[in-house]
Amino acid sequence: MSPILKPLFFFFFLNYVSLSTSLSLHLPLTSLPISSTTNSHRFTTSLLSRKTPSPSSPPYNFRSRFKYSMALIISLPIGTPPQAQQMVLDTGSQLSWIQCHRKKLPPKPKTSFDPSLSSSFSTLPCSHPLCKPRIPDFTLPTSCDSNRLCHYSYFYADGTFAEGNLVKEKITFSNTEITPPLILGCATESSDDRGILGMNRGRLSFVSQAKISKFSYCIPPKSNRPGFTPTGSFYLGDNPNSKGFKYVSLLTFPESQRMPNLDPLAYTVPMIGIRFGLKKLNISGSVFRPDAGGSGQTMVDSGSEFTHLVDAAYDKVREEIVTRVGRRLKKGYVYGGTADMCFDGNVAMIPRLIGDLVFQFTRGVEILVPKERVLVNVGGGIHCVGIGRSSMLGAASNIIGNVHQQNLWVEFDVTNRRVGFARADCSRIL
């Protein structure tokens, strides 16, 4: 998919989704090359093993592989019997949707979901509450199609889209391990051949509907070696590595607190600063927290490749880069319309001059990006600092992208409203 940006339609506060099953999965991860810039998504999973659940643990425990380059792609078994569907793991989106088979139009990829083959598939009629939103925050455009089914349109800020019908379908992991029917989009028109697995805190997300208490992933470093796909891990449920995690509390916002530039369903973390090596940049901590209008929140997003900063923070980062390696910057070049700290030619010395990049949070928690990974190879002999300007996305948030989550365990503890981090060699985790 071309760079997927966060949907223009963020807020879904629905009270009628009620499910009784909880889910625990473990999925080791791998990388796929994608031609994109900021928010491309790719994540592929294959089922490897299942553990017998104990009475004190959630009923599902799976392990599979995923591939990562610019995003995380998971292959989930949808329907009864299951059909493998590739979906982008996106902590910044709510609605999950799959690619559905079109009967009368040119066929979509062979991997598209065929509803006629699933005994658990059902559609949402126009009378369903989701198709008749009555609350201001529900902004997903729905309509009634010619068959009296609920039709949706989902647009992203970069012009990519998906539209089709809202449906209910199960995720069938085995004959005895099946989720309840989940509300999904069944896309018959879209600008990509993969779906989205919405993992944010909204009531329609996969996390909420399947009652996931926590999930975590470990993204391996990208590889420039042709044909090589490094692997990492993804867990739904408890992670046996969590003893070493350092946590920060999520910033949460009541439904009554409405701010025009705030995404209240995002995983918003308390970032307090940025430094290069031992030098902390002169950026006020307030820049990383939402102001009265919601601008400035800092979110952890698996669906964004680059990190993006609001102008006040980006300008300070760029100023420091110019001080250290300004003569080497590629003049007039902007990658993906947002990142202008780029270099071409031999860049071997540049990481040493820039140094380690550190994102600082409360409680002494840090994300340290070693100097060897400060630059991202964007092709054509060009390397860029993996940071873009949020305002060029039309966003007013700070976004920690997946390029700065490599070789880290990142755990989203939904129940306890916190996010945990721990350094790891993600390419070596089995």
The beta strands (E) that lie in 111-249 are given as: 122-123, 142-144, 150-155, 161-169, 182-190, 195-198, 214-218, 233-236, 246-249
Q: What is the SS3 assignment for 160?
A: coil
Provide the greatest CA pair distance for the chain: 63
The rounded distance, in Å, linking the Cα atoms of 271 and 249 is 11
Cβ distance 236 to 60 under 8 Å? yes
90 is catalytic: yes
The rounded distance, in Å, linking the Cα atoms of 352 and 357 is 11
Instruction: For residue 102, count other CB atoms closer than 10 A to its CB.
Output: 15
Contacts of 184 (CB under 8 A, 6+ apart): 95, 96, 97, 98, 166, 167, 168, 169
Read off the tokens for 315: 């300008």
**Could you say which of 158, 263, 301, 413 is catalytic?**
301
Cα end-to-end span (Å), the chain: 28
Cβ distance 284 to 316 under 8 Å? no
263 is catalytic: no
Separation in Å, CA 178 to CA 22, 23, 48, 76, 301: 10, 9, 17, 12, 28
**Could you say which of 90, 263, 340, 413 is catalytic?**
90
Cis bond upstream, residue 77 (ω within 30): no
Contacts of 197 (CB under 8 A, 6+ apart): 74, 76, 87, 88, 89, 90, 96, 206
Contacts of 115 (CB under 8 A, 6+ apart): 79, 100, 101, 121, 167, 186
CA dihedral (288, 412, 198, 397) in degrees, to 10, reads 0
Residue carrying the six token digits 């880069």: 321
The residues annotated as belonging to the active site are: 90, 301
